[in-house]
Structure 1
Amino acid sequence: MATLSETYACVPTTERGRGILISGDSKSNNILYCTARSVIIRNLDNPLQVSVYGEHAYPVTVARYSPNGEWIASADVSGTVRIWGTHNDYVLKNEFRVLSGRIDDLQWSQDGMRIVACGDGKGKSLVRAFMWDSGSTVGDFDGHSRRVLSCAFKPTRPFRIVTCGEDFLANFYEGPPFKFSMSIRDHSNFVNCVRFSPDGSKFITVSSDRKGIIYDGKAGSKLGELSAEDGHKGSIYAVSWSPDSKQVLTVSADKSAKVWDILEDGSGTVNKTLACTESSGVEDMLVGCLWLNDHLLTVSLGGTIYLYSAKDLDKSPLSLSGHMKNVTVLTLLSRSEKMLLSSSYDGVIIRWIPGIGYGGKYEETKQFGLIKLLAAGEEEIITAGFDNKVYRVPLLGDNFGPAEHVDVGSQPKDLSLALNSPQFVLIAIESGIVLLNGSKIVSTKQLGFVVTASAISPDGSEAIVGGQDGKLHIYSVSGDTVTEESVLEKHRGAISVIRYSPDVSMFASADLNREAVVWDRASKEVKLNNMLFHTARVNCLAWSPDSSLVATGSLDTCVIIYEIGKPAANRRTVKGAHLGGVYGLTFIDQERVVSSGEDGCVRVWSLVSE
């Protein structure tokens, strides 16, 4: 069997100019955030403990625990709310179509019986409150003319609901059944977030006009404002109360987070400013926050989560980052130090340390643009994207040296590095292959068939090229001369990936017709066949360090591990490894294989039988 030992989670999907929602459960210290069609459940005491709920048909916008922690309500851009259990494989309790457009926020009532949701839609239906078990509407929510960005349910009786949005208004409703009581017109720009204090005595609204205003929880009358002195210099996107209702945490486009003391009269003064970063990039704007027990959490536009301790705000935060998009390449950077490198097609390259998780992000990647292909040597990485350029980038400790690039004249389809002679790189382009020595092209060969994949042997003396026609062409390489030696025919689909075994006695190939084959390099005979257990194309494959295991990853979301010398039927299968498909695979050692995929996550699987 293969068991999941660690997950390096993807980060929340963010949007410029908008706040995002992170919510939590005070009993378990779990947080919820949304990325693409998934809800990520992550434990703050052990951030490698991650689970993913992926049952929505559309991108998810918000998810919240019920007050008793037993249920989660999550909502998406189609206006649908799903209510599911936190145990027993996330069994679905109910699904309701609540609004005709995107849902931006939802909140449970403290008794767990009602849910209010708000967002975008047609006509007046921008807010709706309903019973969690039947979906029947409990109230009438007039008063907004534009998208409603946030809503809050008073946690104590008498119940109240406050909503706010892009029409610069906050509306106050009494109930249940809820009826419009009054509009609050104290802001001069989008009102981005509204939250009641845990004791229900007050609520606060924050806005793009840089103000935070505090109101009486029962009557809705204004009490005071957050002080402009030391205040935010940009839009305030989100706010969260401390568990004792005496402080709030705010985050802003000015890249700072602030902890405020809320006084009895309703005014607020800055207690502490939390600056996350010295850099000046747009992705350092802060767009989300949460105060959960002793944890203060902020989220940047780039998706990085910063975790502070409420007991010691001077202590540097723990930063948790990851990918936001499909992780297409995964490689072991150094076998001795066991460091992993992953890249997603949006150009983000991240280091991971097994057992620890996030090990840092390479910041200089913007110079390469989008990344489609990546190979790593001991001292450099080679990348290629969607233009005709191949970059050679020296690794200098935790960052990159100045990159050299070479134009290969056509978009690269595959690239591989001769590990023992790392100056040699083989680039596959649609019409043939290009051989690089350093950053110079030493040979370009037109091959007369459509090339789809390639590999070069570690010593640089042999190249295998796979075609659209399913054939493997083997070439000897000497200096700048490339000579065809043989053609192997076994595949019934275009070749998608080729990899030499670490001991170079074998190589493995896989195709778009879901089959993989292991070949003996000397005799060119098939060493392991009938590897036909995927139900969709094979995207990636990897060898274990001692060449005894080969793993394949597929669009069908599965990883399959085969043992050389045993029938393919004796395979080990990881089902549902990555929602949307597996795109990257590598072994850390004989006992651990790592996969990455469409869901933006990287997972470590243990092959040791318990």
Structure 2
Amino acid sequence: MADLLETLACVPSTERGRGILISGDPKSDSIIYCNGRAVIIRRLGAPMCVSIYGEHAHQTTVARFSPNGEWIASADVSGMVRIWGRHGDRALKSEFRVLSGRIDDLQWSPDSQRIVVSGDGKGKCFVRAFMWDSGTNIGEFDGHSKRVLSCDFKPTRPFRIVTCGEDFILNFYEGPPFKFKQSHRDHSNFVNCVRYSPDGSKFISVSSDKKGIIFDGKSGDKLGELSMQEVHKGSIYAVSWSPNSKKALTVSADKTAKVWDILDDGNGKLNCTLACPVSGGVDDMLIGCLWHGDHLVTVSLGGMISIFSASDPQKPPTSFSGHMKSINALSCLLQSDQITILTTSYDGTIVRWIPGIGYGGKIHRKENTQIKCFSATEGELLTSGFDNKVHRLSLNESHCGEAEPVDVGFQPNNLHFILKCPDLALVSTDSGIIILRGTEVASTLNLGYAVTASAVSPDGSEAIVGGQDGKLHIYVIEAATLKEETVLQKHRGAITAIQYSPDASMFASADANREAVVWDRASQEVKLKNMLYHTARINCLAWSPDNRLVATGSLDTCVIVYDVDRAASSRTTIKGAHLGGVYGLAFSEENTIVSAGEDACVRVWRLSHER
């Protein structure tokens, strides 16, 4: 058995030049947002309290709790809306293909009976409203000629719907059944977001023309604007109202978030500007916001989520981030008597996590290049991407010192420190092995076969290189050279992962044909075989600190843990560990395993002693 201890969640998917949507649970402090094919629910008061819904077949775009708190409606880029239970087994209530393209916004009616969506109708229908249980249309939504970026339901009767989009138009509909009432052309650029106040008396539209315009909620007539003397200096991407309908929060590409007092005459006066965390780049642009209870939530382009107190907005916020893209590597280190988890993703992000605490910061590098593979020790980090360069970084608690990158001439597929001589590192490429001494190439060995994986023993005396042909080549490391000792043949597919046990008495290997093998290092005989329980290629391996357990992570989304002293059939399987596949594994303690995968999340599992 394996119990999930915690999920270190991904952040919302973002796109430059577009706002994103996060919404709140009317019954709790939970928020909901989308990343990849997943819908993520997490509590503002306890950000590590996370649950994930992964039943969409396509990339998700928006999700919202129903006003009664019982259901969630989520939508994706294919135009599909899924309505599922908020609690328990999250049973699917209904599923409808509502638009012919991407859905950009979705909103429930206040009685939780109707849903309106807007998005890209591919030249046909850009907005639809329907009954939540039957999918029956409840109106006609003419008046837009381009993608509709935002829509909203008036939260009080009589019901109204407002929409806005890339045609610079805001439309107002009365119903149900809903019919076009009037258009407003007050904006001169994309209208990115429109939101009704909780009491239904007003709604605000915000635009890339840097304007915020306030309208009467019932008639749709224009009332006023946010003060132009104090307004944002960049595109405004999102707006959210306070619970008492007297204030509003806006965020902008100018990297600021502003709180506005909405006056009785329908104009907006600046109340304060929030001091949002900045790193100095375009990633600081703010593209999403939510006013939820006493929480003011902002989201940056780089995925930084900041939570301010509405009652004390000048108080420094609680901020956390994470990965936005698939995690491709993971390592557990002991730093200052504290277990630290390091993860990397293809977009060049390196994140430090602290078990039990969560997000511990990002490691910033001189060149924010893509990362294909990495290797870590307590004090150093090696990374490489698709530019044939290997970066060597010195790590500590507060900063990252980086030497000039080494161009090895080929694209690395594995990196390893040679611990008996810390300034040496082994780099495997598709055609051979390169030994680095510091930031210089010490030797290059063309192996004459296609290399797919490699490993270096903990004592630094030996290396194993796996090939496309399924063979394992064992080399003795002498100074900065390799000498082939033997070749092992057992696998029937390309080698995908190799890992020595911590005491170096064994090693494990895995292949693309979904098989893993544990070998005795001294005799070079198979110690544990028939590890053939995955249904797709194995991507990663990990050993427990006591050399007793070996774990495999696969494209089939599962993690399987084996006891090397027992038959492979007495395994522990963690099903559905990561949506899209498992790409990183490491043991943090003897019975605690950390996994990461395509869903951009990290999970910590506790294995029971009953095996």
Contact 1:406 1:440 in 2 (8 A): yes
Matched, 1:207 2:195: no
Contact 1:421 1:459 in 2 (8 A): no
Q: Secondary structure at the match of 2:535?
A: coil
Work out the CA distance in 2 between the residues paired with 1:278 and 1:51.
28
- Partner of residue 29, structure 1: 29
- The aligned amino acid for 1:156 is T
Q: 1:123 to 1:510 in 2, by over 3 A?
A: closer
Contact 1:253 1:287 in 2 (8 A): yes
**Matched residues, percent identical?**
68
- The aligned amino acid for 2:183 is S
- The aligned amino acid for 1:25 is D
Q: 1:540 to 1:231 in 2, by over 3 A?
A: same
Q: Secondary structure at the match of 1:283?
A: helix
Contact 2:275 2:316 in 1 (8 A): no
Work out the CA distance in 2 between the residues paired with 1:232 and 1:474.
62
Work out the CA distance in 2 between the residues paired with 1:314 and 1:368.
32
Contact 1:368 1:391 in 2 (8 A): no
Contact 1:162 1:194 in 2 (8 A): yes
- The aligned amino acid for 1:103 is I
For residues 66-107 of structure 1, give each alpha carbon's deviation from its aligned partner in whole angstroms, at most 9, with x where no partner exists: 111111111111111111111232211111111122111111
For residues 545-570 of structure 1, give each alpha carbon's deviation from its aligned partner in whole angstroms, at most 9, with x where no partner exists: 11111111000100111112111111
Matched, 1:129 2:129: yes
Task: Select between 581-590 and 429-438 the one with higher mean Cα deviation.
Answer: 429-438
Matched, 1:163 2:163: yes
Contact 1:124 1:142 in 2 (8 A): no
Q: Secondary structure at the match of 1:328?
A: strand
For residues 322-371 of structure 1, give each alpha carbon's deviation from its aligned partner in whole angstroms, at most 9, with x where no partner exists: 1111101100132632011100011000000000100001122x615111
Q: How many residues align?
A: 609
Matched, 1:399 2:399: yes
- Partner of residue 512, structure 2: 512
- Partner of residue 556, structure 2: 556
Work out the CA distance in 1 between the residues paired with 2:585 and 2:279.
33
Q: Secondary structure at the match of 2:367?
A: helix
- Partner of residue 453, structure 1: 453
Deviation at 1:27, TM superposition (A): 0.8
Contact 1:153 1:196 in 2 (8 A): yes
- The aligned amino acid for 2:125 is S
Mapping 1:325-340, distance limit 5 Å: 325-334=325-334, 336-340=337-341
- The aligned amino acid for 2:414 is D
Q: TM-score, with normalisation over the residues of structure 1?
A: 0.97
Q: Secondary structure at the match of 2:347?
A: coil
Matched, 1:236 2:233: no
Deviation at 1:396, TM superposition (A): 4.0
Contact 1:42 1:50 in 2 (8 A): yes
Q: CA RMSD in A?
A: 1.4
Deviation at 1:609, TM superposition (A): 5.2
Contact 1:39 1:53 in 2 (8 A): yes
- Partner of residue 351, structure 1: 352
For residues 185-225 of structure 1, give each alpha carbon's deviation from its aligned partner in whole angstroms, at most 9, with x where no partner exists: 22222111111111111111111111111111111122221
Matched, 1:498 2:490: no
Work out the CA distance in 2 between the residues paired with 1:28 and 1:515.
45
Q: 1:323 to 1:424 in 2, by over 3 A?
A: same
- The aligned amino acid for 1:606 is R
Work out the CA distance in 1 between the residues paired with 2:279 and 2:230.
20
Work out the CA distance in 2 between the residues paired with 1:90 and 1:12.
21
- The aligned amino acid for 1:549 is L
Work out the CA distance in 1 between the residues paired with 2:378 and 2:177.
66
Q: Secondary structure at the match of 1:75?
A: strand
Work out the CA distance in 2 between the residues paired with 1:29 and 1:138.
32
For residues 392-422 of structure 1, give each alpha carbon's deviation from its aligned partner in whole angstroms, at most 9, with x where no partner exists: 1112433221323222221112121123432
Q: 1:278 to 1:303 in 2, by over 3 A?
A: closer
Mapping 1:162-181, distance limit 5 Å: 162-181=162-181
For residues 428-463 of structure 1, give each alpha carbon's deviation from its aligned partner in whole angstroms, at most 9, with x where no partner exists: 122221122222222222222211111112232111
Contact 1:106 1:118 in 2 (8 A): yes
Matched, 1:386 2:377: no
- The aligned amino acid for 2:341 is L
Please identify runs of 4+ aligned residues in structure 1 that moved more than 6 A: none
Contact 1:255 1:275 in 2 (8 A): no
Contact 1:455 1:463 in 2 (8 A): yes
For residues 513-538 of structure 1, give each alpha carbon's deviation from its aligned partner in whole angstroms, at most 9, with x where no partner exists: 11111111111111111111111111
- Partner of residue 259, structure 1: 259
Matched, 1:373 2:373: yes
Task: Select between 476-485 and 248-257 the one with higher mean Cα deviation.
Answer: 476-485
Deviation at 1:297, TM superposition (A): 0.5
Q: Secondary structure at the match of 2:228?
A: coil
Work out the CA distance in 1 between the residues paired with 2:482 and 2:175.
80
- The aligned amino acid for 1:213 is I
Q: 1:468 to 1:312 in 2, by over 3 A?
A: same
- Partner of residue 145, structure 2: 145
Work out the CA distance in 1 between the residues paired with 2:609 and 2:272.
50
- Partner of residue 531, structure 1: 531
- Partner of residue 42, structure 2: 42
- The aligned amino acid for 1:523 is S
Matched, 1:362 2:369: no
Task: Select between 287-296 and 388-397 the one with higher mean Cα deviation.
Answer: 388-397
Task: Select between 47-56 and 435-444 the one with higher mean Cα deviation.
Answer: 435-444
Work out the CA distance in 2 between the residues paired with 1:122 and 1:491.
49
- Partner of residue 227, structure 1: 227
Contact 1:443 1:480 in 2 (8 A): yes
Q: 1:198 to 1:483 in 2, by over 3 A?
A: same
Q: Secondary structure at the match of 1:96?
A: strand
- Partner of residue 290, structure 1: 290
Contact 2:26 2:68 in 1 (8 A): no
- Partner of residue 465, structure 1: 465
| Structure 1 residues without counterparts, runs of 5 or longer | none
Q: Secondary structure at the match of 1:533?
A: coil
Mapping 1:535-546, distance limit 5 Å: 535-546=535-546
Work out the CA distance in 1 between the residues paired with 2:414 and 2:83.
44
Task: Select between 417-426 and 598-607 the one with higher mean Cα deviation.
Answer: 417-426
Work out the CA distance in 1 between the residues paired with 2:579 and 2:450.
30
Work out the CA distance in 1 between the residues paired with 2:385 and 2:56.
31
Work out the CA distance in 2 between the residues paired with 1:116 and 1:409.
54
Work out the CA distance in 2 between the residues paired with 1:160 and 1:90.
30
Work out the CA distance in 1 between the residues paired with 2:207 and 2:414.
48
Q: TM-score, with normalisation over the residues of structure 2?
A: 0.97
Contact 1:21 1:62 in 2 (8 A): yes
Matched, 1:606 2:592: no
- Partner of residue 579, structure 1: 579
Contact 2:26 2:67 in 1 (8 A): no
Deviation at 1:124, TM superposition (A): 4.8
| Structure 2 residues without counterparts, runs of 5 or longer | none
Work out the CA distance in 2 between the residues paired with 1:278 and 1:98.
39
For residues 364-388 of structure 1, give each alpha carbon's deviation from its aligned partner in whole angstroms, at most 9, with x where no partner exists: 2x61511111001122101111122
Work out the CA distance in 2 between the residues paired with 1:101 and 1:479.
59
Contact 1:105 1:119 in 2 (8 A): yes
Q: 1:481 to 1:125 in 2, by over 3 A?
A: closer
- The aligned amino acid for 2:127 is V
Q: Secondary structure at the match of 2:569?
A: helix
- The aligned amino acid for 1:586 is A
For residues 82-138 of structure 1, give each alpha carbon's deviation from its aligned partner in whole angstroms, at most 9, with x where no partner exists: 111112322111111111221111111101111111111144511111111111111
Contact 2:391 2:402 in 1 (8 A): no
